[in-house]
Amino acid sequence: MTSRAKKRIVLPSRPEPPSVEEILEDVRGAVASDPVFVCDLSDDSLIPSQEISSDRDRQYMQSCSYVHLNNMLKGAQDELKEKYESLRSSGIKLGKVIEELREAAM
C-alpha cells in the first residue's frame, strides 16, 4: 500500500445554501452604502475621476469595470453568433442558386 492511500483526508460536508427568505432578509438588512449597491454597471465610466483613497477601493472599482466589460463582450458574442447564422444561411441559399444556374445552363 502506498502512503497516499493511507492518508485519505475526509472533508466536511458542504453547508446548505441559504433559503430565499434568508437571502431577502440579508438584502433588506444591508445599508444603502453597501458596495454591492454602489457599483453602477450601466455606467461607461466605472472608475471615478477623483483619486481613489485605498487599494481595496481601486481593486473593487476595477472589478466592477471588468464585470461591465465582460457583459459587453457577451453581448458582442451574441451579435456575432447572429451574424454568423445569417451569413451561413445566405451561403446555403447562394449555393442552391448556383447549383440551379448550373443545371439550367446544361
The pLDDT, as a whole number, for residue 47 is 53
The pLDDT, as a whole number, for residue 84 is 95
Q: Are the CB atoms for 30 and 36 separated by under 8 Å?
A: yes
In a 13 Å sphere around the CA of 100, the CA atoms on its Cβ side amount to: 6
Per residue in 3-32, pLDDT (tens digit) is 555 677 888 888 898 998 998 888 888 887
The pLDDT, as a whole number, for residue 49 is 52
Per residue in 44-80, pLDDT (tens digit) is 555 555 555 678 888 888 888 899 999 999 999 999 9
- Identity of residue 35: P
